[in-house]
Amino acid sequence: MNTTDNLIPRPSHVAPGDGPAFLLSPGARIAAGHAAAQVAEQLAALLRTATGFALPLVEEHRPGDISLELVESFDGGREAYTLTVAEDEIRLTASTPAGLFNGVQTLRQLFPAAIEEAGAAENRDAGTWVIPAVEIADAPRFAYRGLMLDVARSFFTVEEVKEQIDVMTQFKFNALHLHLTDDQAWRIEIHEPAENPSGLPYAKLTEVGGQGAVEVPTAVPPRGNSGFYTQQDFRDIQAYAATKNVLVIPEIDLPGHVNAALAAIPQLNPDGLAKPMSTTSEVGWSTLSVELPATYEFVREVLSQLAAITDGPYLHIGGDEAHVTGHDDYVAMVQRFVRIGAETGKSVVGWNEFAAVELPEGSVIQYWHGDFEPTVRQAEQSGSRVMMSPAANTYLDQKYASDSPVGLEWVEGGPFTWSEYYNWDPAQGGLQDQQILGVEGPLWTETVRNNQQAQWLLYPRAVSLAEVAWSGQEVRNAGDFRRRLGALGERLAQQGVVFQEAPDVEWS
Ligand code: TNX
C-alpha cells in the first residue's frame, strides 16, 4: 500500500483519514469548471499516460471522480490548496489555478510511483491506482521559489528550458531566473529602435554575442553552446512557464560581466573599439564606462525592450563582481541603472553588491555572499525584499563531491550534498519572513553543457531547496526528508531525470 507520508515539499497539514482508500477506476472523470480547465487537462494528461484510462474532462462530478474546484477566497493565499481523498472522491480546492496546480503536484506524489511509468498500462491490475484517505491543507512559506539557469556561459535551447520547467514544477518551484548575458555571450535579441541617437548596432549583440560561450578544459565538451533567444523565443518560454505557474525573471548583468556587449557595440568602449570576444571563465574583468553617454542610452534601450516582453513584475540588473569598476563609478552607474529599471515599471532585482545604492521601494536584493549586514539594513530602510541564495546553501553549480565530472568547487564549506541545501533557515541575520521574497538556487554553467549534466547537479539538491522554500520550519526535519528523498528516487528514475544518488540516502 502506498503512503501519504512521502510528500516533497512537506505540506503544512496532513491528516490521514480513517475511512477506506480511493481507487481510481477506468470510468473516472476529471470535473472542473472553465477557469480550472487548463490544470485539469494537465492532470488528465499525466494520469492517462500511466493508467491508460480515458479520464475525460466534465463539468459536474459524480462518485469516483477527481474534482478541481475554484473558490472565492482562501486561507493561505493564492498558491494555497486543500486536497481531500476519500473512498468516493478526490477533491482539490484553491482560490486560483496556481493553487490548483500546486495541489495537482501533491496529488501526483500520492499515487503509487508507477504513475510515473509511461506505457505500462496494460500490465496493471485493477487495484493499482489506490490512494489512502487523507486531508491535506497546504500553503507556501515563501512566495518566490526559484531556480536560475545561466544560459550565457552555455546556451540552452527553448526546448531544453521547457524540459527543465517540467521537472522543477513537480516540486512547486514557481520562478525561473534566466541569466541572459555575461562576458562570454549575449543571449537575447534586441531590436533596432526607431530612435537611435548614437547609432548603436543593437543587432550585433546577438549576431556577435550570440556566438560566444565559455571554454573550460575539464568540461565535456570543453566549449559551451552558442545561440540566442529571439524576443519571440523568450515569449514562448515565458508562455509555457506560465502554464505551469512559473514566472520568468530575465537578467542583464551590469555594469560588470559585460564583455560580450563591449565586443558587439564599439561605442560602449572609451576608445570606440570593439573588444574581442572571450571564452575565459575568469570573472570580474569587464565593465561599462561611467562617463560614456552611450552606456545609459544602451541600458535604457535594452531594459525597456526586455521589460516590454516580460510578463512578470521583476527585472534583474545583475550588479555582481564588478571588480574593475571603481567604487564611486559603480555606485554612480548602478544608481542610474536602478532608476532606469524602475522607470520601466518593473521591480528591480540585483545581486547583493547592488545594495550599495539607494533602492526604490519594491526592489529585491538577491543575497549570494559576503557581508549580510548591508542587505539587512537596506531591507529595513528601503523596504526592499530579499531573495536568499547564500552560496553555501543554494549554489547548484557546486560539486557534490570532489571527483564529480561536472561542477565547480570554490564555495567555502564545499563540496555540498542534499543536506547542506536542506539544513538552513532563510530567516537569518535578523530578517523576518515578511522581508524575504523567497529562495533561489542558481545553476552557473561554466562546466554544464546539456540538460543531463544540469540535472546531475540540480537533483536532488534542488529538491532540498524546494522544501526550504515551501515548507515551514516547524514541519521540516532532515532525517524525515532523507527518508522521503529515498522514496522519490524511483519516481525521478521513471521520469528519466538524472540525479546524484547521495550515498547516505536509501534510494528506492
Ligand atoms: C560567481 S555568483 C558569479 C558567477 C559565476 C559563479 C560561479 C555571482 C553573482 N557571480 O559569475 O558563474 O560565481 O560559481
Q: For 466-485, what is each residue's pLDDT tens digit?
A: 999 999 999 999 999 999 99
Q: Which residue has its alpha carbon closest to ligand 1 atom 5?
A: 444
DSSP bridge partners of 144:
438
Claim to verify: residue 232 and residue 288 sit in the same structural domain: yes
Number of domains in the chain: 2
pLDDT for the residue 257: 98
Claim to verify: residue 230 and residue 356 sit in the same structural domain: yes
Q: DSSP label at 226?
A: P
Count CA within 13 A, CB hemisphere, residue 112: 16
Place of cell 536509501: 506
* pTM (2 d.p.): 0.98
Task: pLDDT band for 123, please (50, 70, 90 cuts).
Answer: confident
Claim to verify: residue 94 and residue 148 sit in the same structural domain: no
Whether 8 is covered by a domain: the verdict is no
Four-point Cα dihedral 2, 5, 7, 8, nearest 10: -130
Q: Cα of 236 to ligand 1 centre, how many Å?
A: 27
CATH number at residue 92: 3.30.379.10
Burial class (CB in 10 A: 0-12, 13-18, 19+), 103: buried
**Of all residues in the chain, what percent are helix, strand and coil, respectively (each to 5)?**
35, 20, 50
| Residue 260 clears pLDDT 80, i.e. is over it | yes
**DSSP-assigned letters across all residues of 317-354:** EE----TTS-HHHHHHHHHHHHHHHHHTTSEEEEEGGG
pLDDT for the residue 262: 98
Note whether 492 and 499 are within 8 A (CB).
yes
Q: DSSP label at 467?
A: H
Based on the residue annotation, tell me whether 490 is a catalytic residue of this protein.
Answer: no
pLDDT for the residue 1: 58
Task: pLDDT band for 75, please (50, 70, 90 cuts).
Answer: confident
Q: Which residue has its alpha carbon closest to ligand 1 atom 6?
A: 444
CATH number at residue 278: 3.20.20.80
Whole-angstrom distance, CA of residue 150 vs CA of residue 159 = 15
Whether 329 is covered by a domain: the verdict is yes
Our mutation pick for probing the ligand 1 site, out of 252, 320, 416, counting the most ligand atoms within 8 A of Cβ, is 320
- Cα–Cα distances (Å) from 152 to 130, 183, 326, 355, in that order, read 45, 8, 25, 24
Cell digits of residue 411: 564555495
> Where is the domain boundary, 138, 159, 179?
138
Question: Could you report the per-residue pLDDT of 148-179, keeping only the tens digit for each?
Answer: 999 999 999 999 999 999 999 999 999 999 99
Residue in 169, 312, 303, 186 with CA at minimum distance from that of residue 239: 312
Selecting among 251, 297, 321, 353, the annotated active-site residue is 321
Domain region containing 47: 13-138
Whether 500 is covered by a domain: the verdict is no
Start-to-end CA distance of the chain, whole Å, equals: 15
Task: Give mean pLDDT, residues 236-263.
Answer: 98
Q: DSSP label at 181?
A: B
Whether 462 is covered by a domain: the verdict is yes
Burial class (CB in 10 A: 0-12, 13-18, 19+), 340: buried
